[in-house]
């Protein structure tokens, strides 16, 4: 039923670090599984923001650690792709390193940390600061694909609400925030309306990144392995963060600049630098920070 299919043109690449490639198919998944996932992706692209159920497989990495993103990446990656993997904006956090290593071992494709050089970017919790271009694909790792899950845990109910475009529940939640705190108290995974139809979870990116999704020239794919859903935002699709006329959506702003590159337009992480709790702000996007430092060496030293 699911016998491995012959892959004609996908010769294993040469610069893998061990013999994993001789034991497993290119990009680990068997070709029938990839085909099943690609069909789900095609459906997702055809219905922007709609969550397509798919037969998520157990991957050799744990559920909740990026298995949805990994399955999507494994299904679309080809030998000529240049892959970038980030977690929290950085290429160097252990989970990003681990996933990158997984694809190096199973595909042998070239990897990069540079956003502009990548054809395929898998991310957890950030969108790169450098705008994406046509032809690039960004794959988001999604823990909870259902934006209303915390309001209504039953999938049978939320499915109906999506079907009827009945999103009062979400708007009431945002309104209650305003009534209670004076502003919308959601800072990440901030709900968006895609193509004027489906409310979608953008994955736990900070709301700072939400505007980058709107009319983005790149193809945006979302994989939720544990919850077994795939969804997509095709290039140049409207992505509107929810808000009200008198309380419009707004993003975080910092009083500080990046201590390393001086950027004032990027998402900044606070870093505690000594026992006394002294803090500094640095770019969460390590590639953005490094490329700015390379252009202006010692700009802030």
Partner 1 sequence: MKSEFRRADYVAVKGGETAILNSYQLLAEQRRGDHALPELSVPQIQQQLKLAVDRVMNEGSVYDSELAALAIKQASGDLVEAIFLLRAYRATLPRLGTSKPLHTERMQLDRRVSATFKDLPGGQVLGPTYDYTQRLLDFTLLAQGESAVPAVKPNAPVVMSESSFTPRVVDLLNDEGLIETRPIPPGDPAPVDLTREPLRFPAVRSTRLQNLARGDEGFLLAMAYSTQRGYAHSHPFVGEVRLGSVELEIEPEELGFAISIGDLEITECEMVNQFAGSKTEPPQFTRGYGLAFGHCERKAMAMSLVDRALRADELGESIESPAQMQEFVLSHSDSLEASGFVQHLKLPHYVDFQSELELIRKMRAATEVTP
**Active site members:** 49, 258, 261, 283, 289
Least Å distance, CB 143 to partner 1, is 7
Cβ atoms of 80 and 27 closer than 8 Å: no
Q: What is the rounded CA–CA span in Å between residue 209 and residue 55?
A: 30
Least Å distance, CB 14 to partner 1, is 20
Least Å distance, CB 124 to partner 1, is 8
Q: Give the DSSP letter of residue 5.
A: P
Closer to partner 1 by Cβ: residue 168 or 182: 182
Closer to partner 1 by Cβ: residue 64 or 135: 64
Cβ atoms of 219 and 234 closer than 8 Å: yes
Q: How far is CA 67 from CA 19, 230, 273, in A?
A: 22, 12, 33
Least Å distance, CB 228 to partner 1, is 4
Least Å distance, CB 91 to partner 1, is 9
Which one, of 46, 89, 43, 37, lies nearest residue 67 by Cα?
37
Sign of CA dihedral 95, 97, 100, 101: negative
Closer to partner 1 by Cβ: residue 67 or 241: 67
Least Å distance, CB 134 to partner 1, is 26
Which one, of 119, 71, 96, lies nearest residue 218 by Cα?
119
Closer to partner 1 by Cβ: residue 139 or 237: 139
Question: Which segments of the chain are extended strands (E)?
Answer: 52-53, 82-87, 110-111, 120-124, 137-141, 192-194, 198-200, 219-224, 229-233, 239-241, 268-272, 279-283
Closer to partner 1 by Cβ: residue 237 or 281: 281
Closer to partner 1 by Cβ: residue 30 or 81: 30
User: Does residue 143 sit in helix, strand or coil?
Assistant: coil
Sequence-distant (≥ 6) Cβ neighbours of residue 253 within 8 angstroms:
none
Q: What is the rounded CA–CA span in Å between residue 216 and residue 124?
A: 18
């Amino acid at each position: 039923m699911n016998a491995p299919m012959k892959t004609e043109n996908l010769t294993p690449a040469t610069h893998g670090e061990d013999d994993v490639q001789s034991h497993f198919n290119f990009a680990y998944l068997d070709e029938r599984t990839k085909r099943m996932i690609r069909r789900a992706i095609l459906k997702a692209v055809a219905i922007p923001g709609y969550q397509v159920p798919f037969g998520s497989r157990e991957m050799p990495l744990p559920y909740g650690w990026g298995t949805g993103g990994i399955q999507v990446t494994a299904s679309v990656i080809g030998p000529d792709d240049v892959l970038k993997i980030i977690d929290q904006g950085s290429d160097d956090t252990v989970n990003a390193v681990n996933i990158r290593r997984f694809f190096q071992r199973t595909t042998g494709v070239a990897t990069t940390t540079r956003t502009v050089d990548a054809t395929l970017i898998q991310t957890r919790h950030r969108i790169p600061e450098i705008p994406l271009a046509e032809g690039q694909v960004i794959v988001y790792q999604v823990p909870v694909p259902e934006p209303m899950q915390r309001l209504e845990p039953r999938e049978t109910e939320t499915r109906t609400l999506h079907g009827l475009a009945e999103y009062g529940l979400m708007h009431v939640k945002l309104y209650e925030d305003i009534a209670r705190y004076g502003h919308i108290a959601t800072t990440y995974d901030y709900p968006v309306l895609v193509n004027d139809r489906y409310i979608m979870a953008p994955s736990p990116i900070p709301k700072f990144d939400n505007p980058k999704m709107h009319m983005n020239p790149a193809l945006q794919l979302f994989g939720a392995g544990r919850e077994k859903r795939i969804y997509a935002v095709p290039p140049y699709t409207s992505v509107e963060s929810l808000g009200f006329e008198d309380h419009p959506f707004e993003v975080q702003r910092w009083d500080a600049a990046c201590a390393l590159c001086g950027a004032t337009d990027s998402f900044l992480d606070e870093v505690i630098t000594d026992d006394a709790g002294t803090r500094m702000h640095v770019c969460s996007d390590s590639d953005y920070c490094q490329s700015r430092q390379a252009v202006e060496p010692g700009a802030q030293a």
